[in-house]
């Protein structure tokens, strides 16, 4: 079983790995439904969050439709701010991924940044409340994802429930995907934002695998291992860094499979297989060494930034996914679809995916973007 705001990437990886995914999410995209052996949508969860009763009812229905009992439950985005919900799910299903306490520790700013200080890991100054002059500081929602929960503070700001503030630093945004278990493996991608009004850090896309300076790469891997042990991370996770002047600042850890699955997985679903192995107590590294064959690729999101959109009848390009059905209404600034590109290098893939974003925008809105 797979549950998350959008479950398509996980469902596709599971299919490639030879599993039959039983899927619950919030979008109901056409390709997700095609990938799923059974599918349920939880209306409203994208904006209000998942609730135990409606989510478990949907999970039980997809599980009940299967010929054999599911091996467990994989959680995608949508649970970082709800460790209590993760704990209740863990009592009901076998979780394939980080345990509830790992989610709680990774997404609690006080615990997480205190751990980084104890380990001597560079990170931006982080506080519960902003200073008197809050210019240069960011406000972030605890457990937020996708970047839309981050905003720049005004000169005068105040502490808000469920939020914290962090000093803004500049540099290259690097995402490190890790598979952590008895053994560990890591891969690196560069990420970029798709800014919207008052939300300048909305996730735009990522490209990988990128080449890093050998010393920097070794340091990032060391950080992943040093942080992963005390947090109790298992399976596919991601680490977000800002790197400047060869100094790596750890911004956050996402204790779940992330967007990089679209970049780093291969035709055999090796990352999903490794995720299952790592969380089952099996060393995933032999599997990765033997069969992991990712290509340089990029993935980016197209948002309805021009205007709210009623999805037209179009022939979707083969390089798109998360395809909404015709007639579906998409609110302004909400995600429409994901665009993919494969090229000879990560930089070339990033350029191609940017070009394709423009092509899909034109196809959907019917006129060139200004």
Q: How confident is the model at residue 369 (pLDDT cuts 50, 70, 90)?
A: low
User: pLDDT of 48-70, one tens digit each?
Assistant: 899 999 999 999 999 999 999 99
Residue 114: pLDDT band (50, 70, 90) is: very high
Phi and psi angles of residue 233, each rounded to the nearest 5 degrees, phi first: -70, 145
Domain 1-96 is found in CATH 1.10.10: no
The pLDDT-based confidence of 370 (bands split at 50, 70, 90) is low
The proportion of the chain whose per-residue pLDDT surpasses 70, expressed as a percent, equals 99
Over the stretch 116-142, which tens digit does the pLDDT of each residue have? 999 999 999 999 999 999 999 999 999
Name the burial class of residue 174, with classes exposed (0-12), middle (13-18) and buried (19+) by CB atoms within 10 angstroms of its CB.
buried
Residue 368 has pLDDT above 70, yes or no: no
**What is the secondary structure of 22-68 as a DSSP string?**
EEEESS--HHHHHH-SEEEE-TTHHHH---HHHHHHHHHHHHHTSSS
Cβ(261)–Cβ(10) under 8 Å? yes
* Contact in structure between 26 and 42 (CB atoms under 8 Å): yes
| pLDDT per position as a tens digit, 210-235 | 999 999 999 999 999 999 999 999 99
Cβ atoms of 250 and 227 within 8 Å: the answer is: yes
Look at residue 238 and tell me whether its pLDDT is greater than 90.
Answer: yes
pLDDT for res 138? 95
* Residue 48: Cβ within 10 Å count: 10
200 has pLDDT over 80: yes
Q: Is the peptide bond before 188 cis (omega within 30 degrees of 0)?
A: no
Please answer whether residues 304 and 330 qualify as being in contact, where contact means their C-beta atoms are separated by less than 8 angstroms.
yes
Q: What is the pLDDT of residue 245?
A: 85
Q: pLDDT band at 46, cuts 50/70/90?
A: confident
Question: What is the residue extent of each domain of the chain?
Answer: 1-96, 126-167, 297-365
Residue 290, pLDDT > 80, answer no
Task: Give the phi and the psi of residue 277 in degrees, each rounded to 5.
Answer: -60, -50
CATH architecture of 297-365: Alpha-Beta Complex (3.90)
Please say if the pLDDT value at position 293 is more than 80: no
d(CA 302, CA 152): 23
CB-count burial class (<10 Å; 0-12, 13-18, 19+) for 132: exposed
pLDDT at 199 over 70: yes
Q: How many CB atoms sit inside 10 A of residue 325's CB? A: 11
- Which pLDDT band, with edges at 50, 70 and 90, does 167 fall under? very high
Q: How far apart are CA 165 and CA 142, in angstroms?
A: 10
């Amino acid at each position: 079983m797979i549950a998350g705001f959008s479950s398509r990437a996980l469902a596709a990886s599971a299919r490639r790995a030879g599993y039959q995914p039983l899927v619950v999410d919030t979008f109901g995209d056409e390709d997700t439904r095609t990938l799923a052996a059974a599918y349920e949508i939880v209306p409203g969860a994208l904006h209000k969050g998942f609730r135990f009763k409606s989510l478990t009812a949907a999970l039980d229905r997809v599980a009940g439709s299967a010929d054999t009992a599911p091996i467990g439950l994989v959680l995608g985005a949508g649970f970082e701010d709800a460790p209590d919900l993760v704990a209740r799910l863990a009592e009901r299903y076998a979780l394939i991924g980080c345990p509830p306490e790992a989610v709680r520790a990774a997404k609690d700013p006080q615990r997480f940044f205190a751990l980084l200080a104890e380990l001597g890991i560079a990170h931006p100054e982080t506080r519960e409340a902003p200073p008197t002059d809050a210019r240069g500081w960011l406000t972030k929602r605890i457990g937020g994802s996708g970047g839309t929960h981050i905003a720049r503070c005004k000169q005068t700001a105040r502490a808000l429930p469920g939020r914290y503030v962090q000093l803004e630093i500049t540099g290259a945004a690097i995402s490190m995907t890790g598979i952590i278990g008895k053994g560990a493996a890591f891969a690196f991608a560069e990420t970029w934002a798709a800014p919207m009004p008052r939300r300048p850090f909305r996730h735009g896309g990522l490209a990988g695998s990128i080449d890093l300076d050998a010393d920097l790469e070794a340091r990032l891997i060391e950080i992943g291992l040093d942080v992963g042990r005390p947090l109790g991370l298992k399976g596919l996770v991601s680490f977000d860094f800002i790197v400047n002047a060869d100094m790596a600042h750890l911004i956050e850890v996402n204790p779940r499979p992330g967007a990089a699955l679209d970049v780093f997985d291969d035709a055999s679903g090796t990352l999903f297989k490794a995720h299952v192995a790592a969380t089952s107590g099996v060393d995933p590294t032999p599997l990765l060494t033997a069969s992991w064959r990712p290509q340089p690729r990029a993935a980016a999101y197209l948002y309805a930034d021009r205007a709210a959109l009623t999805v037209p009848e179009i022939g979707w390009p083969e390089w798109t996914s998360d395809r909404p059905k015709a007639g579906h209404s998409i609110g302004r600034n909400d995600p429409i679809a994901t665009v993919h590109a494969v090229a000879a290098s990560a930089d070339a893939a990033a350029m191609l995916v940017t070009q394709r974003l423009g092509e899909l925008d034109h196809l959907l809105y019917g006129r060139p973007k200004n």
